[in-house]
Amino acid sequence: MTQKTVRIAMWSGPRNISTAMMRSFGARKDTCVSDEPFYGAYLKQTGIKQPMFREIIEDMDCNWQTVHAAMNGALPEGGKSIWYQKHMPFQMTGPYSILDFPKHRHAFLIRDPAYVIASYAAKRIEVSASDLGYEKQWDYVQYCCDRDGEVPAIFDSVDILAEPEAMLCLLCQKLGIPWDSAMLNWKAGYRDTDGIWASHWYNQVIETTGFSPGVSKPPVLDSAQQKINAECQPFYEKMALLKMAAAA
């Protein structure tokens, strides 16, 4: 009997445990993963000089049409039935959007923008509100609500870090896939499925073997960063009101 393919589109902003979530799903024996497949097309179209700009474009398929077709085509690994795709809403500047993935099961990973902005600052990377994608992420949430008549799977990274098993069980339930305890732990190090940018961005996640809440100090933002935070907060707060919560 042929297994039914489940394609999951996880729409996340940057600096938001999105790679740890990819590690979590990649630890499942039934799941293959893809790391920001539209990143190259986004950079080539916009010309935004993000870290490793040239290397990313040279390494990736930068054609919107063929990337879209690939994400709806055959799974990249045989013997798998679930395909976890890590997507960034802000990268969807070409001819495709969430509307063009009608058979995917959509989920959303959110984080307080103040912490995201502070994380960028630690990398000495300049950032704008549009780079974080909160407004587009909210648009995508609204689309799912209207299409399905119910709130999609929205999860705050702080909740996942605080209660990984409870929240991941809930996520699997919402996505209609079986729970797998393998999602709680993974091997440290890089993966062949990591984007070429892993050497710049993944220096912390490659040392992890699971989710850990750690110590999170309130971020200190300068005046320019506070302005960006003020632009993003309303969209984050709207999504936070709809986020999933584990049973008490």
- Read out DSSP for 55-105? HHHHHS---HHHHHHHHTSS-SSTT--EEEEEE-GGG--SS--GGG-TTSE
Rounded to whole angstroms, how far apart are CA atoms 23 and 34? 11
Q: Which residues contact 168 (CB under 8 A, 6 or more apart)?
A: 24, 160, 179, 183, 184
- CA distances to 5, 99, 143 from 15, rounded to whole Å, are 29, 25, 24
Task: Give pLDDT < 50 ranges for the chain.
Answer: 1-2
Amino acid at 130: S
Four-residue CA torsion sign, 68, 70, 73, 76: negative
Which DSSP letter does residue 124 get?
T
pLDDT of residue 216: 72
Based on DSSP, count helices (H) and strands (E) in the chain, helices before strands.
Answer: 11, 5
Rounded to whole angstroms, how far apart are CA atoms 165 and 63? 38
Q: How many CB atoms lie within 10 A of CB 200?
A: 15
Query: For the whole model, what pTM was predicted?
Result: 0.95
Q: What tens digit of pLDDT does each residue of 90-140 get? A: 999 999 999 999 999 999 999 999 999 988 777 767 788 998 999 999 999
Beta bridge partners of 82: 6, 31
The C-alpha torsion from 223 through 228 and 229 to 234, rounded to 10°, is 140
Question: What does DSSP say about strands 105-110 and 31-35: parallel, antiparallel, or unpaired?
Answer: unpaired
Query: Is the Cβ–Cβ distance between 103 and 141 less than 8 Å?
Result: no
pLDDT of residue 1: 38
